[in-house]
Amino acid sequence: MAICATLGAMAQTPVYLDESKPLDVRVEDALSRMTLREKINLIHAQSKFSSPGVPRLGIPELWCTDGPMGVRPEVLWDEWEQAKWTNDSCTAFPSLTALAATWNPEMAYLYGKSIGEEARFRNKSVLLGPGINIYRTPLNGRNFEYMGEDPYLSGRMAVQYVNGVQSNGVAVCVKHFALNNNEINRHTSNPIVDDRTLYEIYLPAFKAAATEGGAWSFMGGYNLFRGEHASYNPILMNDILKGEWGWDGAVISDWGAVHDTRTAVTGGLDMEFGSWTNGLTNGASNAYDNYFFAEPYLKGIQDGTYSTKELDDKARRVLRLTMRTAMDRNRPFGSMGSDEHISACREIAEEGIVLLKNDKQTLPIDLTKTKRIAVVGENAIKMMTVGGGSSSLKARYEITPLDGLRARVGDSAEIVYARGYVGDVTGEYNGVVTGQDLTDNRTPSELTEEAVNAAKNADIVLFFGGLNKSPHQDAEDFDRETMNLPYGQNELISTLAKANPNIVVINISGTGVAMPWVKQVPAIVQGWYLGNETGNSLASVLVGDANPSGKLPYTYYASLDQCGAHKLGEYPGHKSIDVLGNEVYDIPYNEGIYVGYRFIDKNNLRPTFPFGHGLSYTTFKYGKATIDKKEGTADETFRVTVPVTNTGKREGKEIVQLYIADKESNLERPRKELKGFRKVALKPGETAEVTFEITRDALSYFDPEKHAWICEPGDFEAIVGASSTDLRSRVSFRVKP
């Protein structure tokens, strides 16, 4: 009888395992069953990328993986060294700057869904991305992982990326919250930012990801903010993220970003990862027991230094994260390297490629009239998926630009390749090897001579240059030292342009570069890092199979003096000593809210290419914008409509942008700010009516004295344009008291 009763009790599903019950009910039930040590174990790592869960209760391990552009290959349990699996090659997706350049939230969802399927197939619970820090300076080595300079654009794209990933039962970990805007001195940077700048520029994309996207986890940055580390900064984590925004997810530290127990306990951090490199040798027996959130925290609770209030909140948030992911028995199984993912990679890449300049209709290449194409530049043959830091990938394959062109052009034209310059000849990062050996011992003059000869005898020259993912270019832990192209490329481009003026420069980079030769070449393409399908995607655009429709998600400065962070700021800061006696780098953000095109507008500058710029192989005409009412209260919605017509001879996509200007604010405001955009596909002769809704959020500024968003009565202007400088139509309206 007793045995039967026991079996009956065991057969009953515990509340925390019953997925029909509300999530918070399940969380509280699981929490009530846990011991103090189990709660402690739940909130710190057990390996390089996992936390242990609670085996006694059947609460599984939580596995993280680096992103945000592909699922990182497996590493050993305690080390960064490769595990040398043979089945962990991923689909390498385009850089997030390329995604942002699509200006298409549908592409962001497709991207997130696809990478989320790969993470799920590898049984990962948390994807460490997307990165949405604002592009404050073109020298930031990690710009290629972010979504540009504008908080509105970044936020709209981030929300759909989050939705796509989490549709697979895989959590995003939105990073790096917040103000992680440089890589140099990143562990000791202390940005000095006023509240208005913080709320208007550096927080909106994160808020959108948290409140609209419903992100399940956030990652703190390495940097400090107002003297405390970002990963457990009480202002960022407690007051804003969990307080003002009412967010219920878990905060995960960046790897090695925790420095002491006391402040981490009270500062809003929930999970500690990466505090030591090798768990086998750093510590008496197991370094993970010595993490700040391990034995030191446990002993502090036991001796009364800390209460269990903070621990329960951390455990509650980690349980919620686990139940949303690893414990969700209904989440799909995912897939890896599927045809659908390859198709998504190519579609996103083609939509993100930006045609910056196209004089004399140099592009697309007419293969019926072109007999010889000269391809010049190391970036035509260099694989780019390996390198750059934690976003480095072990791709299933990578098609280089030269291979993509050869496959597409076939016998239609002869392609002659010349190296032109030698840059980074390596192809290895963290144990992943491309297999390329690009060693070339010729002198620069010999390489130039070969390139010039190839150019002279060609109908068109395609120069593939730019940056790569080596230190001091586009790479984690390094900022660039200059905006100039490396390896003598500027001089080489000018020389080639003299040899053959019919030249196209394809810039491969994740950030803006100086272009002193911009007037010497008729066509320029921003090619980004495009992942597996790099060569196919670029070839498709160059020969006209795909009509380019990307636009810049940041300003292409002519020089650093056009960037407020450099003109007015103290990049990369000055040494200071904090209250604990530690050396830090204070970075005054003297430009305030005037980041990117806002600074350009204020100072009437002419960048090389403006924010939002991008050309097409067709043309678009904008009609006159109209508004549904000329006056209304701040709580009413204003609707602005503009007709856009494809006036060219081929189908294309146009990105229609809406900017708002406040004509009589009590506080100084930017001349205009992006508050809406829409990408429309139009056939030749077709017209679309594009409508934008303007609500209180689009009209408000942050008042630091009131610590509130304010929409003042007064006159406003809605400005519709094809870029931040190509403004096509304006309409005025008034907000009544």
Summarised one tens digit per residue, pLDDT across range 381-392 is: 999 999 999 999
In the prediction, which pLDDT does 8 show? 43
- Pairing verdict, β 250-252 and 217-220: parallel
For residue 316, the 8-state DSSP code is H
Confidence band of 78 (pLDDT split at 50, 70, 90): confident
Instruction: Please say whether the beta carbons of 539 and 642 come within 8 A.
Output: no
**Res 558 pLDDT > 80:** yes
Summarised one tens digit per residue, pLDDT across range 610-631 is: 999 999 999 999 999 999 999 9
In the prediction, which pLDDT does 581 show? 81
Mean pLDDT across 64-83 = 92
DSSP string, 623-641: ---EES-SEEETTSPEEEE
Mean pLDDT across 427-443 = 92
**Res 549 pLDDT > 60:** yes
The sheet carrying 574-577 orders its strands as: 189-192, 583-588, 574-577
Question: Same CATH topology for 2-82+124-133+166-324 and 339-542?
Answer: no
Summarised one tens digit per residue, pLDDT across range 246-267 is: 999 999 999 999 999 999 999 9
In the prediction, which pLDDT does 281 show? 52
> What residues are paired with 718 via a beta bridge?
660, 731
Looking at domain 618-737, its CATH superfamily turns out to be Immunoglobulins (2.60.40.10)
Instruction: Please say whether the beta carbons of 702 and 709 come within 8 A.
Output: yes
Instruction: Please say whether the beta carbons of 238 and 268 come within 8 A.
Output: yes
**Res 13 pLDDT > 90:** no
In the prediction, which pLDDT does 7 show? 37
| Placement of tokens 């679309």 in the chain | 688
The Cα–Cα gap between 125 and 473 comes to 31
Mean pLDDT across 694-707 = 98
In the prediction, which pLDDT does 10 show? 44
In the prediction, which pLDDT does 718 show? 98
In the prediction, which pLDDT does 360 show? 94
Mean pLDDT across 410-418 = 97
CB contact set of 89 (below 8 Å; sequence gap of 6+)? 73, 337, 394, 395, 396
For residue 245, the 8-state DSSP code is T
The Cα–Cα gap between 708 and 200 comes to 11
Instruction: Please say whether the beta carbons of 331 and 169 come within 8 A.
Output: yes
Summarised one tens digit per residue, pLDDT across range 114-155 is: 999 999 999 999 999 999 999 999 999 999 999 999 999 999
Q: Catalytic residue among 254, 424, 479, 662, which?
A: 254
Summarised one tens digit per residue, pLDDT across range 626-676 is: 999 999 999 999 999 999 999 999 999 999 999 999 999 999 999 999 999
Confidence band of 577 (pLDDT split at 50, 70, 90): confident
In the prediction, which pLDDT does 570 show? 86
Average pLDDT of the chain is 95
The candidate with the shortest Cα–Cα distance to 466, out of 436, 511, 435, 411, is 511
Mean pLDDT across 42-59 = 96
Instruction: Please say whether the beta carbons of 485 and 513 come within 8 A.
Output: yes
CB contact set of 445 (below 8 Å; sequence gap of 6+)? none
* CATH assignment, 2-82+124-133+166-324: 3.20.20.300
In the prediction, which pLDDT does 9 show? 43
Q: Residue 6, exposed/middle/buried by CB under 10 A (0-12, 13-18, 19+)?
A: exposed
In the prediction, which pLDDT does 734 show? 98
Confidence band of 277 (pLDDT split at 50, 70, 90): low
Break the chain into its structural domains and give their ranges. Answer: 2-82+124-133+166-324, 339-542, 618-737
> What residues are paired with 652 via a beta bridge?
682
SS3 85: coil
254 part of the active site: yes
339-542 CATH, one of 3.40.50.300, 2.60.40.10, 2.60.40.1930, 3.40.50.1700: 3.40.50.1700
